[in-house]
Structure 1
Amino acid sequence: MSTVAIQVESLSKRYRLGTIGTGSLRQDVQRWWTTAIRKKEDPFFLADSATQQKQALWALQDISFEVQQGEVLGIVGNNGAGKSTLLKIISRIVRPTQGTVRGRGRINSLLEVGTGFQPDLTGRDNILLSGYILGMSKAEVRAKFDEIVAFAGIERFLDTPVKRYSSGMYVRLAFAVAAHLEPDILILDEVLAVGDSEFQKKCLGKIREVSHHTGRTILFVSHSMQAITNLCDKGMWLHQGKIKKIGTASAVVNEYLVSAQRIQLKQKWDDATLAPGNERIRLKLVELVPHLLTPDSPVDVRTPLTFKIEFWNLLPGETSLSMGLHLYTYSGECVFDRPTPDSLCNQGLIKAECTIPGDFLNDGAYYFSFVITRDTSVDLFRYEECLSFELEDFRGDYNYYGKWLGVVRPNFPFKLIQAGVESFAS
């Protein structure tokens, strides 16, 4: 039977815009006594006042959800959606305006570079201090000490005050401490972006190890959709302080990305002076044509797609032109980079098209980019995210309802064959 590690009920957080304080010492003291000591509503900031309503910013509104023990919850949303505010409330850094948060076990948070570190203490001292704050004994911290230092890669600077660390060293040590000191609940905000790519890979591997092998609960906020889908069991999408969707990580990420991008199957420019381009290349048309069986058929993983482009070559004389077509998922993965052969082209209108067969791409959201080059080496014009589209899922006779893994889903021959009837013992 699963155990609830974090329970959030009707959580709301309201901030006041504008000046700090009431403008009166007597009222400031009264406000402090009412809110901090008596734990009651701010008497000078009432929600039913029209003036105060204009000054109110609801960072979170009526948030309720549960996280099971050993579960990894990925939280996505635009900047200002309330993700960091939610993590700070769960970490007991910020007090909510309304609602309750219940947690089971020790919580360790890494919400920004160097959270919980004392700048004047050395790296060694901060490791020990962090362990004590988590309620660990000196022997427990010592047992993990060498592993933490090796993971962070700061052996030479271990006895240097952390205020002299670079931002990268800071976050490496902070993450190493947070991940290795074995809290029951680990809360990570978008801090891994500070490290280099090699360290980010180590961090993601450690998160996977911590969640899957030790059964610890993790709340993970990231703008890397690939990291969310790879590491998280569940996803939660916050939008303007409210929960937009909760579900599997892949389903939440896909819906979030599709909503953030405008599905665009065609762009055409009748006025060449307003079309994208430069003095060498000017676009006329880019279009994606789905080959549907009927006009009402969905665009799903079985649907062939034809990419078409028309552009004006403005270069005088005969020029060797080629084009590279790039297909990306909205989580940042490049599906393919398909170049055309070199072609000798005169000044005028140039056309090209490329068909992606059905039963090749997996369901999800995608976009096209392209580059037009001269002599396969000189960039003449680039266009990022010129077209975007979404493919729906189709399973047919399959009874598997989980997310189909991978970017591509090719339908090449693959089947089981009965090779014989002899017994296993023979």
Structure 2
Amino acid sequence: MSNISIKVENLSKAYQLGQIGTGTISRDLERWYARMRGKEDPFLRIGESNNQNTRSESDVVWSLKNINFEIEQGDAVGIIGRNGAGKSTLLKILSKVTTPTTGKISGKGRIASLLEVGTGFHPELSGRENIFLNGAILGMRKKEIQRKLEEIVDFAGIERYLDTPVKRYSSGMYVRLAFAVAAHLESEILIVDEVLAVGDAEFQKKCLGKMGEVSKGEGRTVLFVSHNMESITRLCKQTILLKNGSLHSFSDSYGVIEDYLKLDYGTTSSKYWQHAKAPNNGLVKLLSVVSHNSEKVNKEFYDINEDVGLTLEYEVLKNGYMLQGAFNFHNINGINIFDAHENISKDTIPKDLGRHTLTAWVPRNLLSEGPIIIGVAIVTQDPFSVHLHERDVIVFNMVDESSNNPTRGSYVGSLPGIVRPLLRWDNIQPMEK
């Protein structure tokens, strides 16, 4: 018996650009009359292509093109890609919100989708009524929904507002209730777009934990779209990467994230410049930047519990300068984690002409999980001057794969923060009287 939960074959979705006929002469005349008066078109116009960096010469754009994949029951699969890559379109087709232009989808079981805030909710109905409405849409009986009601309300944390119309909910309350309904009602497939970004950090941790439980504990299939690579690696063993509407890769999450970073930054965890094209200012030339572990092995993923080395090779072109290497550390959101530069003393002498190699070590239990983006600079301190500065030179990922990580303990959710140092904790016993 086949264990395939979702099978997608030659799936494509086309959209018409620009002005689309309304289907009736009277409405076409109404559009023409509005245009003649200089008014805005009263009918729908479809937007640009999924490749937002190029101008289309056709009035038809393929948001998805020839997508093929299979997902087994019980798998948690991530879907990543740049904005406009086709992620949300794919989820809408899988959720049967829209239909494909060509191709077909086959699968087993009921689908619960969380595509955007408020999807599937009736604004005039209360939270309680919407829970029963969503359960009925999934084909559940009233007694089945009633059995799950308390669990849903407790997870969403909206008991006080359960009988209030959801049109009065904040976006955060909306998404908490919507996720709780989708995750707890008895569907075989759970599809979640990155609406979790609306929720606070604590709720996002609860959601990731629940999706892991749904996949591993209950054997339900989970599709999860996110720009948070840490969440993808924690939840999903396999990931789909979409690029401009095409399936670029579908494999182990770590390998696919590596592909994604190459597409986004043009580099991964090592960078070597051709000598003739290397950045230089006539004083110094950059040659390479490589990340590695304590055994000098270059990797794309480093565990929180290991030291990470950054080796910079450069060439001095002029004598007499007290040059120092420097690194910038940023996370995936562009936040500057910290900067570091080479230490020199009053006894340090200027670098000789020729090649020099410098290694900085980032101690274990410092960087938090997720992609770490490294920039490099060559500077002098007195007087301060930046001679060369290259941003986004290499990218590597910090992951937490240890079952006994002292910074995490027994907690399984995502830990917020741009750093995650291992602090010393002294448990002071009360003094005897």
TM over 0.5: yes
Residues 280 and 286 in structure 2, CA contact (< 8 A), matched pair in contact too: no
What is the match of residue 48 of structure 1? none
- In structure 2, the CA distance between the partners of 1:93 and 1:196, relative to structure 1 (3 Å rule), is same
Structure-1 residue corresponding to 2:312: 307
CA contact (8 A) 2:132 2:145 kept: yes
Identical aligned pairs, as a percentage? Answer: 48
Taking a change above 3 Å as real, the CA distance of residues 305 and 196 of structure 1, as seen in their structure-2 partners, is: closer
Q: Which runs of 5+ in 2 are unaligned?
A: 29-55, 301-307, 316-323, 365-369, 379-385, 403-433
Q: Deviations over 1:92-143 (max 9, x none)?
A: 1101111111121111110000110000111111111111111111111111
- Alignment match, 2:12: 12
Q: What's 2:220 paired with?
A: 216
Query: What is the deviation of 1:179?
Result: 0.4
TM (norm. structure 1) is 0.66
The residue aligned with 1:270 is 281
The question of whether the paired residues in 2 share the 8 Å contact of 1:90 and 1:101 is answered with: yes
Report the more deviating stretch, 258-267 or 237-246. Answer: 258-267
Conservation of the 8 A alpha-carbon contact between 2:78 and 2:223: yes
Within the alignment, does 1:170 sit opposite 2:174 as a pair?
Answer: yes
Give SS of 1:191's match: helix
CA contact (8 A) 1:290 1:306 kept: yes
1:122·1:161 contact (CA, 8 Å) conserved in 2?
yes
Partners in 1 of 2:142 and 2:291 — Cα distance? 67
- Cα 1:13–1:253 change in 2 (3 A) is same
Query: CA-atom RMSD, angstroms?
Result: 4.6
Q: Deviations over 1:373-420 (max 9, x none)?
A: xxxxxxx9xx894521579xxxxxxxxxxx9947xxxxxxxxxxxxxx
Distance 1:354-1:201 versus aligned 2 partners, 3 A rule: farther
Change (3 A) 1:386 1:233: closer
Aligned residues: 337
- Give the 3 Å change call, closer, same or farther, for CA 405–162 of structure 1 in structure 2: same
The residue that corresponds to 2:251 in the other structure is 247
Residues 1:130 and 2:134 are matched in the alignment: yes
Partner of 2:373: 367
Aligned to 1:139: 143
Q: Which moves more between the two structures, 227-236 or 261-270?
A: 261-270
The equivalent residue for 1:106 is: 110
- Given residue 3 of structure 1, which amino acid in structure 2 is its aligned partner? N
Look up the SS of the partner of 2:260 in the other structure.
Answer: helix
Rounded to whole Å, the distance in 2 between the matches of 1:254 and 1:332 is 18
1:367–1:19 Cα change, 3 Å: same
User: Which blocks of at least 5 consecutive residues in structure 1 are unaligned?
Assistant: 29-51, 273-283, 293-297, 311-321, 373-379, 392-402, 407-426
Q: Which string of whole-angstrom CA distances, capped at 9 and with x for unpartnered residues, describes residues 269-291 of structure 1?
A: 5289xxxxxxxxxxx77664559
CA distance in 1, matches of 2:239, 2:215: 15
Question: Take 2:199 and 2:358, find their aligned partners in 1: how far apart are those partners?
Answer: 39
For 2:43, the equivalent position in structure 1 comes to none
- Structure 2: which amino acid aligns with 1:368? I
